[in-house]
Structure formats: structure tokens, C-alpha cells
Amino acid sequence: MAVKVRDVIRWLEELAPLHLAEEWDNPGLQLGDPGDLVKGITVSLDFTAEVLSEGLEEGVNLFVTHHPLFFRPLTKLSWDAPQGRLIKEAAAAGVSVYALHTNLDNARGGLNCWLAEELGLQQVRPFGKTDPLEKLVVFVPQDHAGEVMNALAEAGAGHIGQYSHCTFQALGKGTFKPLTGAKPYIGKVDEIEEVDEVRLETIIPRSLRAKVVKAMLAAHPYEEVAYDLYPLSNPGVRGGPGRLGSLPEPIPLEELAAKVKGRLGGRSVRVSGELAQKVGKVALCGGSGGGLVSLAADLGAQVYICGDLKYHDFLLGQSLGLALIDAGHYWTELVAVAGVARFLEEKLAEAGVALPVLRTKVQRAPFIELD
């Protein structure tokens, strides 16, 4: 079986669906052709000149990264600028670059689950946000119901726990009369039309309303689409990048800090709290996690582990009685490289395909920690 870039993208979006990404983020295909055959894959946190050179030497033409190559729209592209040179070289080499960022952070079984496993947490559950639910009802010609349903699911509608494409469909009769100036998909101007239609119902997180409606309208054949949105009293979707769990048994904060440093590989960690106090309930978030300090305390965590904590984050933690361990942005996200590589190796094995999946050896933290 020949594997194309689009096949790998499909697998990656099973692991970390794009609808899980934060609104400001830009995951997905950054560069390249989905139709290209994959010769080899490199997994890294960032797409850098060193990572590109390493991959090309190994015959790789697909790079899977955590951080997107493009966060914001480009206003100019100059070959004498570092990013411009990198893009030019990558395009000339015909490689593809795909990023899984906050969608991987938020995914069940993604980066923060791997981080929790690495640190030995048990009974792990997500936290970070609760997204209220809404019900979407749309009326679709019977022969287009499947197409519209798939478009809704791909945009993030109809997801309940570990199930996707959750809908209810009922047959009925739709009527309408196209007026002068209309361009009806079915029927004629000034004549009442009756159509066998499906009432298609599904749920959506409120934050995805605009995205889901846009996808629905694009897939629907009608010029004017009849649909309804209803607020629901059901509990919203609980998710977000944070993870809350427990150690097998409480241990002193100083011991936990040493374990975090040893397991993640950093040279140092920053800690606040009484080093001798025993902690068992642990919250964590890979990467920049300062925004979740208060919520971690509200959930009853005794210690919160993340990266990129600021001076005032530590002051906040002290005021809340929450111990903090800053293990660094790079080190708390590095688990993504091994996690994504393992996932792709499993998918390739299931497909009966032998392709190299390389964990980059040239990328390092973009700074040096001195004692």
C-alpha cells in the first residue's frame, strides 16, 4: 500500500481533530501537497533548518511538528530572512509540513495525557474549559443527508464522548415556493414545491457554532437553508488542555520536583511552596500554562506543573495555597515527539506499510540552562 500525505493527515486528525484547536491557533497542513507519496516522516516540536536538513539526509519528505510553521498570515516572504530561506528550501525540496498544536494539547490521548502518563498520574481527567452545548436542526433533501451529516461531523458537531457522527434523522415533507429572482436547486419559480426531506438533529459546542454552520451551508444544496439553533441545559463539554490526577501516594513536593526534572529531562525546575509538604493531587499542562493557575487551585490540586510561569503567576499560586513547578515550555511538550511518532508507527503497522518514522535528534531547547 502506498501512503500519501493525505492518508497521514487523516490519521493525525483522528488523534487530534482540528475542531479541538483554540480559535487563535493554526494547526493543519502548513506546506506541501496532500497527494504526494510519503517516503519517510520526521517528528519534531518545531520545523527548523536543522530539522529539515536532518530529514532530507534521511530521505524524509513529511515533517510532523507540534508548533505551526505559520501562526499568523504572512505579509511578506523574503529569501534573505530566516523564515523565508527555510520556506524556500522546503518548497524546493518538495516536502510537506503538518502541525498538531492546541488540538493535540486538548485531545483525549494527546500531549497532556502523555505528560500525565510520564509523571505517573492516575485517574486523570481534563480541565480548562466548559463549552455549553447547543442543538442544531437542519432540513435537508433526502439524497444529501449523508453529505451534510459528514460535513457537520468534520466541523466538530455530533461528538459525544468517544463517538462521532451522532445525529437523529426523521423523514418529512418540506414545502416552499421560489419567488422571482430565486435560483432554486429543486422546483420552479412561482410554483409550490414539495420535497422529501430529512430533519437532521445534532449537538454542537457553542464555541464551534460559526464553524459548524459555515460547513453546513457549504455542504447543503439549497440556496436558502432552513435550520434552527437551540440552547441546551445539558452539561457542556468538559475539556481543555489541563489534566488533573493523583500520584499513587503522596510524596514531598521536593521529591516530586526532582522526579519531574528527571523524567522530563530538563536541567532545572522552578518551584514554589513548602518543599517538605506532601502532595498527591496534581494538575498539569504542557507548554505555557500560567492561565490555569487559579482553576487548578479551584479544582483542589495541591501542586500544578507546567511551563512559562511568570513572576505574578508564582505570587498568585502562593496566595491560593497552590504549589507550583515550572518545568519549562520545551521540556513539558517534548513528550509530543515520542507520542506522535508511536502513534504513526502503529498506524503504519496496521496498514502493513514499512516507512521510517524518525524522532528528530537535532532539535534542542532554544536556550542553555547554566548552573
For residue range 327-344, list pLDDT tens digits in order. 999 999 999 999 999 999
Of the given ranges (26-35, 158-167, 277-286, 350-359), which has the lowest mean pLDDT? Answer: 158-167
**CB neighbours of residue 192 within 10 Å:** 10
Domain spans in the chain, listed from the N-terminal domain onward: 5-100+334-359, 108-128+239-332, 133-235
Instruction: For residues 217-246, give the mean pLDDT.
Output: 92
- Mean per-residue pLDDT of the chain: 95
Confirm whether pTM is higher than 0.85. no
* 190 pLDDT higher than 90: yes
* 134 pLDDT higher than 90: yes
For residue range 58-67, list pLDDT tens digits in order. 999 999 999 9
Q: Where are the alpha helices (DSSP H) in the chain?
A: 5-15, 49-57, 82-93, 102-106, 111-118, 145-154, 209-219, 253-264, 293-298, 311-320, 329-333, 335-350
Percentage of the chain modeled with pLDDT above 70: 100
At 302 the pLDDT is: 98
CA distances from 266 to 49, 92, 257, 341 (A): 23, 36, 11, 21
> Domain 108-128+239-332: what homologous superfamily?
NIF3 (NGG1p interacting factor 3)-like (3.40.1390.30)
At 6 the pLDDT is: 97
* 368 pLDDT higher than 90: no
At 162 the pLDDT is: 74
pLDDT-based confidence at residue 69 (cuts at 50, 70, 90): very high
pLDDT-based confidence at residue 161 (cuts at 50, 70, 90): confident
The SS3 assignment for 329 reads helix
At 160 the pLDDT is: 86
For residue range 13-40, list pLDDT tens digits in order. 999 988 889 889 999 999 999 999 999 9
Question: Topology of 133-235 in CATH?
Answer: Alpha-Beta Plaits (3.30.70)
Q: Which of 332, 288, 305 is nearest to 245 (CA)?
A: 305
Backbone dihedral angles phi then psi of residue 250, each to the nearest 5 degrees? -60, 140
pLDDT: is 315 or 1 the higher one? 315
d(CA 344, CA 359): 11
5-100+334-359: in CATH 3.30.465.10: no
At 129 the pLDDT is: 80
- H or E segment to which residue 58 belongs: none
Q: Do 108-128+239-332 and 5-100+334-359 have the same topology in CATH?
A: yes
Percentage of the chain modeled with pLDDT above 90: 87
d(CA 67, CA 55): 17
pLDDT-based confidence at residue 131 (cuts at 50, 70, 90): confident
At 130 the pLDDT is: 77
